Amino acid sequence: MAQILVTGGAGFLGSHLCERLLERGDHVICVDNYFSGRKENIDHLRDHKRFELIRHDIVHPLYVEAEQIYNLACPASPVAYQYNPIKTIKTSTVGMINVLGLARRCRARILHTSTSEVYGDPEVHPQKEDYWGHVNPLGPRSCYDEGKRVAESLCMNYHLAHGIPIRIVRIFNTYGPRMDPNDGRVVSNFIMQALRGESLTVYGHGKQTRSFCYVDDLVEGLIRMMDQNVDLGPINIGNPVENTMLELAEAVLELTGSKSAVKHDPLPKDDPQQRRPDITKAKAILKWEPKVPLKEGLAKTIEYYRRTQFG
């Protein structure tokens, strides 16, 4: 049994991670300020004897004891991180420094969840970890993209200067139960629009691509990355199967049985045209690759929304 801190533990990914760590016998300290996390995501864990919940913003120092730290604290959807861009940047910089300082004091191993957004609108496809990216440092997405790039740099420099045992993963699009239905991400948007009988909003021509990883697969990748002793990262964690937005819309319409139409709106500024991870490192080092096919994961996610939003 390990004492594990999960920052952002009430979020979509964080709540699933907390659940998995408890299932394997760890003691979990969940920290969240509920900026984008939700209490409903962890209500079923609150009475667990090995679960602690602390309401706290990592922009302020945190004093707890932990052997491992998973740093997931940062709004991850465009709607959330653009709502207060300065807050987003502070979480990835000041907050990152505070969490790394805690790791140094506790001599804890820390896994930082970075993002495929560090690649920006990529000129290399698929994206490998040695690609430095194509990011607009002044655009509307820069608060998140550049914040995560700085956070990676902070992790590496704390490792070099103080010997902090770090792990860095770059997460690609992930979906599943407990996604906020109003977070503005394409999977939740399409499902909620289909269930409400509204037109599905496709931006631009709809031929831009993303790669969608089911949350259970993603959490398995995080745990394997934390527990291995071969590579500091970064390592891509995502699904290498590429889908266009129109293909995703068609799958959602089929699985929901919705008769909704598809409408096209202008493409947001700096929206990437292609996004697909090269997971060669994850396969070789972590012995990891996603298992859940898109339609199977979408069906589980649709059932969750039907039960929680319309039940």
Pair 200, 256: CB distance under 8 Å: no
Closest CA to 76 of 137, 28, 8: 8
pLDDT of residue 268: 74
Q: Determine whether 175 is an active site residue.
A: no
Mean pLDDT of 24-47: 96
Regarding predicted confidence, which is higher, 184 or 87? 87
pLDDT digits (tens, 9 = 90+) for 240-284: 999 999 999 999 999 999 999 999 988 776 666 778 899 999 999
pLDDT of residue 275: 80
pLDDT of residue 121: 85
Mean pLDDT of 21-42: 96
pLDDT of residue 311: 60
The answer to whether residue 118 scores a pLDDT higher than 80 is yes
Mean pLDDT of 174-196: 93
Closest CA to 154 of 115, 201, 99, 108: 99
Within 8 A by CB and 6+ apart from 226, the residues are 68, 70, 109, 111, 167
Given phi > 0 = left and psi -120 to 50 = alpha, else beta, which region is 213? beta
Mean pLDDT of 207-234: 96
Confidence grade of residue 124 (pLDDT, cut at 50, 70, 90): confident
Pair 164, 158: CB distance under 8 Å: yes
pLDDT of residue 209: 87
The answer to whether residue 122 scores a pLDDT higher than 90 is no
The answer to whether residue 18 scores a pLDDT higher than 70 is yes
Given CATH 3.40.50.720, say whether it is the number of domain 3-175+214-240+276-291.
yes
pLDDT of residue 266: 85
181 to each of 138, 186, 223, 301, how far by Cα in Å?
A: 29, 10, 26, 11
Mean pLDDT of 18-43: 96
Domain ranges, ordered by start, for the chain: 3-175+214-240+276-291
pLDDT of residue 270: 62
Most confident of 96-105, 179-188, 258-267: 96-105
pLDDT of residue 20: 98
Q: Which of 144, 175, 214, 305 is catalytic?
A: 144
pLDDT of residue 250: 95
296 to each of 135, 192, 205, 223, how far by Cα in Å?
A: 33, 17, 26, 22
| Average pLDDT of the residues of the chain | 94
**Percent of the chain predicted with pLDDT > 90:** 81
